[in-house]
Amino acid sequence: MTAAVAPSRSDRLDALRGAAIVWMATYHFAFDLNHFGWIRQDFYRDPVWTWQRTAIVSLFLFCAGGGQALAVGAGQSAVRFWRRWAQVAGCAVLVSAGSWFMFPNSWISFGVLHGIAVMLVLLRLGLARLPNAALLALAALAVAAPRLVQLPFFDTRWTNWLGLVTHKPVTEDWVPVLPWFGVMLLGFVVTRARPQLWRGAAPRPLAVLGRWSLSFYMVHQPVLIGLLMAVQLLR
């Protein structure tokens, strides 16, 4: 009798990621409406919007950590990991290029995809072997670090990726390693400790959307902006 192989994916985890994607697209649609002047909102300071961004990014990183726990448990090969990592990193570069075209004064040098690419490497190249208690301690330290250490050296566009800044940079998206790595670690630990949480059925449309999250992420803003520009030209 052969041993059962742990699943490398979960419909429930994919559905949670899919829900985050729907929320993200709704948020970005409102942001685009504001950009074109159809509504007037402060997306950079109004808590109605800032807390939503925090929640959306947290869901994505929690799911990313959970996905890595499932992949490690299923014995995912290094080739498959690095292939997926290259897709994430490549898309991060495209996001930087596209944002520079749209927002030259606040382009994205280290957004959510950049952060995920760096955090995945940190997690898979050693940290995934640590016990859960050690990872939880690291997660707490990661969350606390930006409040405890703030140095001017990290205020530049080329060093703010770590997160130990004295003030938030001017950019359309910024997801530094600290404190956000703590959220990914939490997702990894929760899934490794309680894999049964992700077993069972889930809404199929959300699960499918969650499996194609990177593709959706890359195309949804060009589509939304293109549609709004078309409508604006026809008005």
pTM above 0.85, yes or no: yes
- For position 3, what pLDDT does the model report? 40
Report the alpha-carbon distance of residue 25 to residue 29 in Å, rounded: 6
What's the pLDDT tens digit per position in 73-115?
999 999 999 999 999 999 999 999 999 998 899 999 999 999 9
What b/e readout covers 70-108, taking b as 16+ CB neighbours within 10 angstroms? bbbbeebeeeebeeeeeebbebbeebbebbeeeeeebbb
> Which pLDDT score is estimated for 6?
62
What's the whole-number mean pLDDT along residues 110-129? Answer: 96
Please state, rounded to an integer, the average pLDDT across all residues of the chain. 94
Instruction: Please give the residue that has the higher pLDDT: either 15 or 101.
Output: 15
The domain limits of the chain are 11-27+46-77+120-153+175-234
pLDDT digits (tens, 9 = 90+) for 161-190: 999 999 999 999 999 999 999 999 999 999
More confident residue, 122 or 8: 122
Give the pLDDT of residue 232: 87
